[in-house]
Amino acid sequence: MKFGVVTFPGSNCDQDMIDALRYDLNQDVIALWHKDKDLSMFGTEDCVLLPGGFSYGDYLRCGAIAKFSPMMQSVIEFAKKGGRVIGVCNGFQILCEAGLLPGALLKNQNQQFICKNVFMKSENTQASITKDVTGRPLMIPIAHGEGRYYADDATLDELFKHNQVLFRYCDEFGNIIEQANPNGAIRNIAGICNKERNVFGMMPHPERASSEILGNRDGQLIFQSLINNN
């Protein structure tokens, strides 16, 4: 399984992602540039990642400009053919803007940038990225100003009906409660996937919790689940 990590102007977590995959998980990683288009080296069993940061400065709206980049046109086609795509933080925003995932990421409820460790839990036993981590709270860092997931009631009902919710914010004991919700995300949603379960988006940063040096390896478990269930 190969991983590709896209760098946009304003990306600031691309090297974090590359290091976590290459050195902490011993995976084959290829750096991708936003102006390029070639994804011919990847098959549907491989994965392209959109990292966190502030693509194109977030001058219009988070992720709104990045969706028009040459590379994103190829990523969209790659996803439509069944290739795996993961968007983390700004990458999640890009996936929503590009229409690969439903809903939107709005400004945090407190209107402030939040950077801290949070807990999240998965109850999704069908998605490859969560199969091995269901039922246990994971401590993963967040760092965003616009991470409040929102969708209308009809979309939310579809997400839960088709088991597309990947992660929900919880407390350290796994209780999904309002007090554990850091940004006001609707129904405590921290991550979702598409119906085909090959496109994944999440606001928390698993690449920042994948090394003993960082004092936390919970994020590594998420990547390992994807690899194990490829």
Tell me if residue 207 is catalytic. Answer: yes
Q: Read off φ and ψ for residue 213, nearest 5 degrees.
A: -60, -35
Q: What are the CA-CA distances from residue 213 to residues 28, 65, 77, 161 (Å)?
A: 21, 35, 37, 39
Interior angle at CA 81, CA 80 and CA 86, nearest 5? 65
The answer to whether residue 146 is catalytic is no
Q: Is 115 among the residues known to form the active site?
A: no
Q: Yes or no: say if 42 and 77 are a contact pair by the CB < 8 Å rule.
A: no
**Which residue in 13, 146, 170, 207 is the catalytic one?**
207
What pLDDT does residue 81 have? 97
Given the residues 13, 47, 89, 170, the one annotated as active site:
89
**Alpha carbon separation from 219 to 53, 88, 98, 109, 207 (Å, rounded):** 18, 12, 25, 25, 6
Gap between the Cα atoms of 77 and 27, Å rounded: 24
pLDDT digits (tens, 9 = 90+) for 168-178: 999 999 999 99
Q: Are strands 84-88 and 47-50 parallel, antiparallel or unpaired?
A: parallel
- How far lies 6's CA from each of 22, 92, 147, in Å? 15, 13, 20
Interacting residues of 75 by C-beta distance below 8 A, sequence separation 6+: 6, 39, 48, 50, 85, 98
Read off the pTM. 0.97
**Which residue is catalytic, options 62, 96, 144, 205?**
205
Per-residue pLDDT of the chain (230 residues; tens, 9 = 90+): 999 999 999 999 999 999 999 999 999 999 999 999 999 999 999 999 999 999 999 988 999 999 999 999 999 999 999 999 999 999 999 999 999 999 999 999 999 999 999 999 999 999 999 999 999 999 999 999 999 999 999 999 999 999 999 999 999 999 999 999 999 999 999 999 999 999 999 999 999 999 999 899 999 999 999 999 98
Domains of the chain: 2-228 (3.40.50.880)
